[in-house]
Amino acid sequence: MFKVSQEMRLNTQAASSNSASSSSQSGSGLEGNSPEEGGIFGRYQRTPDADAYPSEPPRVYVAPELTDAGKVQLLHFPSGALRVNSSVGFIIKRNGVKGNFEVRVEGPSGQPIQPVQQQQLDPERFQINCHLAAGAGLYKVHIKCNSVTLPRSPFIIVAIAGAPDSIEGKTANTSVSILDSDVSKVHSRGLGLTHVSLVERNEFTVDCSQAGSNMLLVGVLGQRGPCEEVVVKHLGRSIHRVTYRVCDPGDYILVVKWGEQHIPGSPFSLTAE
């Protein structure tokens, strides 16, 4: 192919020879053609549409499907603290969303947990199983559908060390009757939910007065483990003041639960600089 206009010679010697042969037979008297006589010189220029045969193979582009990750549901996802070395299982329900799901679980150190088993129960549901064997702390579950991250991903699983308490060889019954508990009615506010100070104590309040009867659980976890100090003080009328202190810069996860469920916004991602 020609990238620019250039000179070339078309070899017409064979055609001239055939013409000369015919002429000699007819008595024209021509002895033959020299190479110069058999070539036609000129200047030729390639046009963009002149290629009948492309030099590169055709490329096929496939557009990804539009994915509405907000329709996907997680069923039976653990909401309370689990013991280390326990197995975790939950269900992903696609609710009509087409595509492939990618599930990745990170341990407290940030390293991925293997293996993460995925089993299709039916066209709408997938069973996910993994093992919390990387020690106590926060495990992050990252879920994507067609490379689109699900809302609120990564999901948090809290793992604690130790064995269940027992009395005389029997597991102690620590169940508490919870009446009319509604975590969606818990309200939190304060600078300690969005900013972290290394100099002073960080503070915020949690109003559970409209959320029924339950227990408030608060934890702050950094790269080196739980923070140095967390104090929860009941001010009356189910309003709590929470203060905590951190000494090292870095990323922190603030978990606030009403019973076994995260309050709106929890877990909170914070950075201390």
Where do the structural domains in the chain lie, given as residue ranges? 6-44, 69-163, 183-272
Q: In this structure, which CATH number among 2.40.50.320, 3.40.50.720, 2.60.40.10, 3.40.50.970 belongs to the domain 69-163? A: 2.60.40.10
Nearest to 108 by CA among 138, 63, 141, 64: 138
User: How sure is the predictor about 227, in pLDDT bands with cuts at 50, 70 and 90?
Assistant: confident
* Identical fold, 69-163 and 183-272: yes
Q: Are 264 and 184 in contact (CB under 8 A)?
A: yes
pLDDT the model gives residue 31: 47
**In this structure, CATH architecture of domain 183-272:** Sandwich (2.60)
Whole-model pTM? 0.41
More confident residue, 63 or 259: 259
> What digits encode the pLDDT tens for the residues 121-171?
888 888 999 998 888 888 999 999 888 888 888 888 888 876 544 333 444
Average pLDDT over residues 250-262: 88
Judged by average pLDDT, the poorest of 78-82, 107-111, 134-138, 142-146 is 78-82
Give the Cβ contact number of residue 26 at 10 Å.
Answer: 9
- Asked whether residue 177 carries a pLDDT value surpassing 80, the answer given is no
Helix, strand, coil percentages for the chain (3-state, nearest 5): 10, 40, 50
